[in-house]
Structure 1
Amino acid sequence: MNYLLAGTVLTDGSVQDDAVVAVADGRIAFVGPRAGLAEAALPSLEELELPPGSMILPGLVDLHCHGAVGGDFPSGDSEAARTAVDFLHRSGTTTLLASTVTASREDLLHGLATLRQLADEGLIAGIHSEGPFLSHARCGAQDPRYLREPDLPLLGELLAAAGGHLRTMTYAPELPGADAVVRMLAEHGVTPSLGHTDADARTTAASLTGAAELLAASGRGSVSRPTVTHLFNGMPPLHHRSPGPVAACLRLAGAGTIAVELIADGAHLDPETVRMVFELAGPENVVLVTDSMAATGLPDGDYELGPAAVSVSGAVARLSNGTLAGGTATMLDVVRRTINAGVEPAAAVLSATAVPAAIIGQGHEIGSLRAGLRADVVVVDRNFRRVLVLREGRTLGRPAVGV
């Protein structure tokens, strides 16, 4: 079907009032004032009636997501993973990386093989491997039994099992051999993402700067720059006499050398912290993520995150020792809470769409509302509550007027 949507358009950090978005044959055909439609020579369009005050956003992009509605991506359960992906698509996350966690070699390879199939089918944009080359001191919810020092033969196995779909990998730069891991990732077009680390500021800066140089020299233009896995979480706090990784990450993000993930779900970060990072680094250097796990979309209870047992109470997921264990918010929840923290709506949307799309080399296809791009569109009401989702031009639920 070919559709016309009318409302306020938020894309690429800008706001267009009283605009329309035309969708034809699964692509965005026109964005702009309604008066410009006459010159666009478009096919017949069905105008979808939207609630007054509706806002039209690009489909949201989540680069760090472990599952939803009972589906745990690291488990290797294909049917459960598909159910999770369908829920996330319908929630407004039209593009996502499926994240694994640190586990045994056999479980890692099995999980990657399962997710590879979903990527082959276009259901996910690729895979994010959170570990296993991470710090014992800052393992968070990663199972310490399976943490390893950098192992290039194992990394080769993981790359092969992912079948070219490994897009990002979290690593700790202070581990012996971490530089070789970064080099191998860059050579394969995989974005290194520093995290779960106890490194000092100097080691952090050297690793990220080196990663940026390797990516630039790799000849793989689709990989833009290194990232930081959930800034603040899984690393020592910022201290004025021991700045640690946070200081280096904020400095390099402000310079545009890297992009930092933020889990702005109200549990992992205080709203003032979220606002501070946006003002210091700029929205173009921030990637909003969910770190969502199997409990997302479901009530409180007991769940799993890879090999770990997780209890969810008050929508906050924790291990038995109280450690946070992933999130339960959707990307649209995260965008809304970022706005509630004091970030401008257009900036929050930018960090949830165009910025992550560019990180995985998909800015030419998704992340913006521009003619020619894939028709991934999210319509929200004044309170940033979901009204309608289009993925590749297909509606995932029709709008209800008056919602």
Structure 2
Amino acid sequence: MSSEILGQILTTSGWVRGRLRHGERITAIEADPLAPEDVLVLPGFIDLHVHGAGGVDVMEGGDAALRMARLHARHGTTSLLATTMTAPPEHIERALRGVRESMAAAATGAADIMGVHLEGPFLNSSKLGAQPPLASTGTIEQVQRWHDIAPIRVLTLAPEIPGHIELIPQLAAMGIRAQAGHSAGSYDDGAAAIKAGLAGFTHLYNGMSGLNQYAPGMLAAALAHGEFAEIIPDLQHVAPGAIRAAMRAIPRLYAVTDATPATGMPDGEYMLGSQRVMKCLSCVRLVLGDSLAGSALTMDLALRNLVSLGLSTAAASDRVSRYPAEYLGLRDRGTLSRGLRADFVVLDPSLHIRSVVLAGRQLTHTEGARHETVHA
């Protein structure tokens, strides 16, 4: 069954005032000078780093990833990677089984769970941030065991840990994008990792050695050589000026939420993995230690924040849709073009969501809203 939406449509060749026809995939984009100017149609958002929402955490296992994906869909996220935390192996495996089950459920009203972002445990114990102190050295055998449970698409590691540089090309051969994060590595460590096939950087600036003119760290390697990197544009993790600097240095810097169970929930205390966190005024911190602990960000707010920094709507859209799709090598989503999945968001002129379409099906008002009481 075919449907259509009229408005200002952001296509691969620019804005088209017209109509987008679709079933599960886009069948046509046609010019129409009578289409409304105050309806903006953008590609659905793609979040490659999201831990939870609506009071649920991927680490819980069961259907937590699916419930999380329903809430994020209401904020325009049409595809995501369920993201784990450092934990004992049996807890990670419980989470992975839950992701696998959530992926297998033919659920409506939920963002497409494309696989897993394994964030930990292959981190530097001196740069854990909100991760619990259970870091370990990675092996390809361990990754393969976990990959057999649920598909790992992205894996965060600290390249300076002995054995991790050698792991990077093995991960690439498995189709897993290795990225540097929670790292105390030097510029040279980062450059060597890129040469070995490192694909990106996890929440740029946060959880990594910085930019010192005498002893440049992992951030310097990212800014000097990175093609892709993720960043959390909640304007709390990274100051606006630092985001602007990163956008000039890294061609395909893309937004992630790093969202936690506190997303879409009222202020209060929540669990992030085994860590107690407190949400207050859209900021999430560890109860013990006061470190930032993920965010309460949603991708629609990330889009608006990027525009507030001076980006055009089209340029901001690239950083929440097109670039993450390119990073994962996805050819069926991330832009609006004939033949691609009909994943798109319909926005008003202030970039607030009017409706969300997932594989051609419009999200109903009630889908995904069961736990949502306060917008992040």
Structure 2 length-normalised TM: 0.91
Check if 1:125 corresponds to 2:94: no
Q: How many residues align?
A: 359
Does the 8 Å contact 2:82/2:99 carry over to 1? yes
The Cα shift of 1:83 comes to 1.8
Within 5 Å, give how 1:80-119 maps onto structure 2.
Answer: 80-119=64-103
Check if 1:134 corresponds to 2:134: no
One-letter amino acid matched to 1:187: A
The Cα shift of 1:397 comes to 3.1
Separation of aligned partners in 1, 2:358 and 2:144: 34
Does the 8 Å contact 1:11/1:350 carry over to 2? no
Indicate the residue corresponding to 1:383 in structure 2: 350
Separation of aligned partners in 2, 1:339 and 1:244: 29
The Cα shift of 1:344 comes to 2.1
Separation of aligned partners in 2, 1:341 and 1:190: 32
Q: Deviation string for 1:131-177 (max 9, x for gaps)? A: 11101111111101x11022333223212222xx1100000000011
Within 5 Å, give how 1:242-281 maps onto structure 2.
Answer: 242-253=215-226, 258-281=227-250
Indicate the residue corresponding to 1:44 in structure 2: none
The Cα shift of 1:17 comes to 4.5
The Cα shift of 1:7 comes to 1.8
Separation of aligned partners in 2, 1:343 and 1:205: 29
Q: Deviation string for 1:171-222 (max 9, x for gaps)? A: 000001102321321121111011110000011011022115xxxxxxxxxx
Separation of aligned partners in 1, 2:364 and 2:195: 44
Indicate the residue corresponding to 2:318 in structure 1: 350
One-letter amino acid matched to 1:267: Q
The Cα shift of 1:9 comes to 2.0
Does the 8 Å contact 1:57/1:349 carry over to 2? yes
Indicate the residue corresponding to 2:31 in structure 1: 33
Check if 1:169 corresponds to 2:155: yes
Does the 8 Å contact 1:150/1:176 carry over to 2? no
Check if 1:305 corresponds to 2:272: yes
One-letter amino acid matched to 1:381: D
Separation of aligned partners in 1, 2:18 and 2:220: 41
Stretches of structure 2 lacking an aligned partner (at least 5 in a row): 107-111, 366-376
One-letter amino acid matched to 1:289: V
- Candidates 36, 41, 45, aligned match of 1:56: 41
The Cα shift of 1:291 comes to 0.3
Separation of aligned partners in 1, 2:343 and 2:242: 30
Secondary structure of the residue that 1:384 maps to in structure 2?
coil
- Candidates 110, 114, 132, aligned match of 1:143: 132
Does the 8 Å contact 1:275/1:343 carry over to 2? no
Does the 8 Å contact 2:48/2:256 carry over to 1? yes
Does the 8 Å contact 1:68/1:295 carry over to 2? yes
One-letter amino acid matched to 2:322: A
Percent identical among aligned pairs is: 34
Does the 8 Å contact 2:127/2:207 carry over to 1? yes
One-letter amino acid matched to 1:75: E
One-letter amino acid matched to 2:143: L
One-letter amino acid matched to 1:341: L
The Cα shift of 1:385 comes to 0.5
Q: Deviation string for 1:18-42 (max 9, x for gaps)? A: 232111x21111124127xxxxxxx
Secondary structure of the residue that 2:81 maps to in structure 1?
strand
Q: Deviation string for 1:90-133 (max 9, x for gaps)? A: 21000000000000010011111110122234740111000111
Indicate the residue corresponding to 1:72 in structure 2: 57
Separation of aligned partners in 1, 2:262 and 2:11: 30
One-letter amino acid matched to 2:28: F
Does the 8 Å contact 2:53/2:71 carry over to 1? yes
Secondary structure of the residue that 1:355 maps to in structure 2?
helix
Does the 8 Å contact 2:62/2:97 carry over to 1? no
Separation of aligned partners in 1, 2:190 and 2:11: 32
Separation of aligned partners in 1, 2:258 and 2:11: 24
- Candidates 241, 251, 258, aligned match of 1:291: 258
One-letter amino acid matched to 1:313: C
Separation of aligned partners in 2, 1:82 and 1:120: 10
- After superposing on structure 2, the runs of 4+ consecutive aligned residues of structure 1 that deviate more than 4 Å are none
Stretches of structure 1 lacking an aligned partner (at least 5 in a row): 36-46, 213-225, 399-403
Does the 8 Å contact 2:24/2:341 carry over to 1? yes
Secondary structure of the residue that 2:113 maps to in structure 1?
coil
Separation of aligned partners in 2, 1:209 and 1:9: 39
Q: Deviation string for 1:228-269 (max 9, x for gaps)? A: 11110001222222221111101213xxxx301010011111
Separation of aligned partners in 1, 2:346 and 2:80: 18
Indicate the residue corresponding to 2:192 in structure 1: 206
- Candidates 180, 194, 206, aligned match of 1:233: 206
Q: Which moved more, 1:196-205 or 1:337-346?
A: 337-346
Cα RMSD, aligned residues only: 1.8
Separation of aligned partners in 1, 2:103 and 2:327: 17
